[in-house]
Every structure is written in structure tokens, then in C-alpha cells.
A and B are shown apart, each in its own frame.
Chain A
Amino acid sequence: AQSVAQPEDQVNVAEGNPLTVKCTYSVSGNPYLFWYVQYPNRGLQFLLKYITGDNLVKGSYGFEAEFNKSQTSFHLKKPSALVSDSALYFCAVRGSRSGTYKYIFGTGTRLKVLA
């Protein structure tokens, strides 16, 4: 069965400091991994995706994520946090096997960047 875990309900970080939002997953076969962001009163927006290739994936707004197959993790990172990064972040996974359509989302991590 597919699953995603986001172990932290909330992450607080000072503006200008690096941030990490954690995600681990379980899926049969190779994973397709995603990060989405949800700002208050706005819909979910795509940040980045890992399919194959380089383990470090770069996405929108300066975010990047590192795929670690041995640890089944896909942590979201940013070198220098901005107050405007404060939002709810969701990790998602889908299996890559033919006929697999279902996306599984984590419960979300609220990021609070303090000025």
C-alpha cells in the first residue's frame, strides 16, 4: 500500500535561515514524488516533482527537494527562508507502475517563517 508521512505538523524558522520540511514515503516500485503548497484562501499549487535522474530537484520559488531512495525520503529544502514562504506544504506520492493512478498526500506541514 502507498503511504506518505510528514512527521512535523509545524516547522518554525527564522527569516534568512535554511528550512527543511520532511517527507517519507512507501510505494511499490519506483515513486513519483511531489511537493505542493497551499497559501491561506488559495488552492494547492505545484512546487516540484521527482521522476528519475538527479536526486536533487529544483522547483518554484527557490525550493528544492532531495530524493533519498535508501531512506525513502523526499525532504523539501530552501537555503534562505522568506516570510512569504509561510504556508501549508504537502508531500505526495504516486507509484510508477502501469495502471497506477492514485496520488497519496501527506497530512501537511505548516511552515512559519518568523521575521
Chain B
Amino acid sequence: DTGVSQDPRHKITKRGQNVTFRCDPISEHNRLYWYRQTLGQGPEFLTYFQNEAQLEKSRLLSDRFSAERPKGSFSTLEIQRTEQGDSAMYLCATPGGAWDEQYFGPGTRLTVT
């Protein structure tokens, strides 16, 4: 257990529906990343927060994706009008520790039917 929690762990939704995921990072970590991982691939960068400021967002993301970190603590990732291609594991990570290593949460597995 890295101390990073994500909710829900699994989400099944129908195409066209909106979904929202939550990440609760380690409390003293002020930086937060979201990634997407599909089968057979490594984590793909989605977005980065420092406190409540979203400092970088992948150009690969369409406008259907949005992320927030309103108080610099937990973060949410919303996907609007889901498509089958959105099916993936969505990971949250917070850097910290002596080596600035990333602590990954367990992920939210999204299945779009």
C-alpha cells in the first residue's frame, strides 16, 4: 500500500455516459499525476498538478477529459461521453520520498460497453 487511494476500483459504463474518478494522494505530497494504461502498454501521461494548479495536460487528450484538484488535496478525473477506446486503467501518482519517486495508486479500471 503506497498511501495513494483511488475510487472506484472498477467502473463499467455504457458508451456515451460520463464518469468521474477520484484520487486521494499522500497528504504531504503537493504534486499529482494522472496516467492511463492500456493492456500491453506503459502508463501514458494525462495531466499534472502542483497544488491546485494544472500545469501540464497531454495534447493527446480530447476535450472530453477534464481534471481538477480544487483544494490541492484530492483530485478528480472526468470523462464525458465515454467511448469504447476509453477503456483502460486510470492511474494516479504522487511524487515524493528521498528520490522523488512516484507513488502509484491501485488504479481505476474503466470498461466502456
Interface residues of A (CB under 8 A from B): 4, 34, 36, 43-46, 48-49, 51, 90, 92, 101-108
Contact = CB atoms under 8 A, between A and B. Distances in A.
Given A43-B2, A103-B43, A104-B45, 19 more contacts: A34-B101, A36-B104, A43-B104, A43-B106, A44-B93, A45-B104, A46-B103, A51-B99, A90-B42, A90-B43, A101-B48, A102-B56, A102-B58, A103-B45, A105-B42, A105-B43, A107-B40, A107-B41, A108-B41
Contact of B43 (A44, A46, A51): A44
Contacts of A36: 102, 104
A103 B102 contact: yes
Interface of B: 2, 33, 35, 40-45, 48, 55-56, 58, 91, 93, 97, 99-107
Nearest to A6: B42
Nearest to A50: B99
B54 to A, nearest CB: 11
Contacts of B93: 44
B63 to A, nearest CB: 19
Contacts of A43: 2, 91, 104-107
Given A101-B48, A108-B41, A46 B56 contact: no
- Which has the most chain A C-beta neighbours within 10 Å: B48, B97, B99? B99
Nearest to B102: A46
A16 B40 CA distance: 27
A51 B97 CA distance: 14
Top 4 A-B pairs, shortest CB-CB distance:
A105-B42, A46-B101, A44-B104, A101-B48
A101 B105 contact: no
Contacts of B56: 101-102
B42 to A, nearest CB: 3
A51 B98 CA distance: 12
Contacts of B2: 43, 45
